[in-house]
A and B are shown apart, each in its own frame.
Chain A
């Protein structure tokens, strides 16, 4: 079959690889019908997460049609149209019981790497390096989905492929940020990053009853989408005084909830960007935590900060003093998709959550290297590039 493969730092190519096989009785094979780029892929592409092998298949956000089922699969059969959570979870361990699916104890075949790095291992993810299980990704004609009764969900007829695709990761990640940071009616919520995840977090905050939701980015096309589709206010950090505006728009208190949806390759107009980039290039820190720093400084006393962006290791100049003295709650997570996807599909069917606008560029899988270049460079106002195998 054809698949998009990582060939080295900043090198992608579409090649021919063996078709995936059922490996466990709970597996299904899905014929991928839509698969989409994610900002976190850029960390793999750029070599910031050094656990890739030449030939690895990228992609973790996708939908498709079930074509083969293992003998233990009960919830799916050939022909089902499904959306699949990007994280692989058994559904039966203590973490899954707590609905913390990305922390599943049994979904990562290589727990040693992340256990050594971080103390404990999160679960596995599709197409996201050998630290996350080395699972072949979705930028391919077919994909093996383990624990399919837990991680694959039938798509209601009322939800189009174009909309359902983003339930796989972006919408569930964004919703998780708003949910687990405790957004409630009356809150002022600030979201750093107007990419797909940031927009979904903002929309979730609106639907959860936040009084004001403010999205921060530098790309006007993305900010326009956040206004139009998420119902958020926006700020451009290249033009606006973010800290001052947030203070003013929250009655001088600071936002109750600050959601960071940027990740380890954050940009900023100030001198701290140069400082962070230099340290990152000199390998003196792994991640550029600009947006996390800003979120912690902006947040009101006793407020909540949620880190949705992907980080790999260590950062410098972390404002621990502000965190402690302001009594903040800081939380983060990879996405617990299984917890949210059924609810999100229901909201998508009702029209409360729309996502089609995120797919600014749709192209055949064979053009995926071009799609990633556009996505990385934000060419032609690319928000997400969707590939059709």
Chain B
């Protein structure tokens, strides 16, 4: 029922973003609530380790005691996708902070229908999408 206004709002956001798009790909960044002194680029856990060779990773102290900013930039020509970076950053943050990556409920209680197929496709990639 809210799909119409949500789509309209999302379209406004998308237009605003297109208007600001820079010629080069930006970095994807998360802030992890761990001190910079505890982290090393080569020792980051999780799926970020798997894509290390295809991306540039930078660590910086976050202001205000918020921990460490992990910035990942995909260089020109890399085969790593934005979705893979988003997923890796989210999983790495969770591993560093919580020691684990939360899995969805299971076994599933839902049944596939024509109506929920788009939602199921979206949630299958729940950590790859978004704005990160």
Contacts and interface: CB of A to CB of B under 8 A. Distances in A.
Contacts, number: 164
Contacts of A49: 2
Contact of B105 (A25, A48, A144): A144
A326 to B, nearest CB: 27
Interface string A86-125: 0010111110010000000111111111011101010010
Interface stretch (B20-28, B39-47, B51-59, B90-98): B90-98
B102 A109 contact: yes
Do most interface residues of chain A lie in helix, strand or loop, or is the interface mixed?
loop
B97 A105 contact: yes
Nearest to B113: A54
A112 B113 contact: no
Contacts of B101: 24, 106
Contacts of B129: 112-113, 115-116
A344 B126 CA distance: 34
Nearest to A94: B33
A54 B110 contact: yes
B6 A286 contact: yes
Contact of A94 (B31, B104, B116): B31
A51 interface: yes
Given A46-B1, A55-B110, A135-B105, A24 B126 contact: no
Contacts of A107: 102
B4 interface: yes
A384 B99 CA distance: 38
B111 interface: yes
Contacts of A112: 86, 122, 125-130
Interface string A43-80: 00011111111111100000000000000100000000
A113 B130 CA distance: 7
A113 B109 contact: no
A163 to B, nearest CB: 28
Contacts of A280: 1
A284 B5 contact: yes
Choose among A20, A24, A49, A105 the residue with the greatest number of B CB atoms under 10 Å from its CB: A105
Interface residues of B, number: 47
A117 B10 contact: yes
A106 B98 CA distance: 8
A286 B105 contact: no
Interface size class of A (residues with CB under 8 A): 35 or more
A283 B4 contact: yes
A230 B47 CA distance: 51
A55 B110 CA distance: 4
A338 interface: no
B19 interface: no
B127 A134 contact: no
Contacts of B97: 90, 92-93, 105-106
Nearest to A7: B111
A314 B104 contact: no
Interface in B65-105: 66-67, 86, 90, 93-94, 97-105
Nearest to B96: A92
Given A94-B31, A97-B33, A112-B127, A5 B109 contact: yes
Choose among B9, B110, B111, B127 the residue with the greatest number of A CB atoms under 10 Å from its CB: B110
Given A94-B67, A116-B129, A283-B3, A54 B98 contact: no
Given A18-B109, A106-B94, A112-B127, 10 more contacts: A18-B108, A23-B105, A23-B106, A50-B3, A51-B119, A92-B98, A97-B33, A110-B122, A116-B129, A283-B4
8 pairs of A and B residues whose beta carbons are closest in the complex: A112-B129, A283-B4, A110-B126, A115-B130, A55-B110, A112-B130, A90-B98, A286-B2
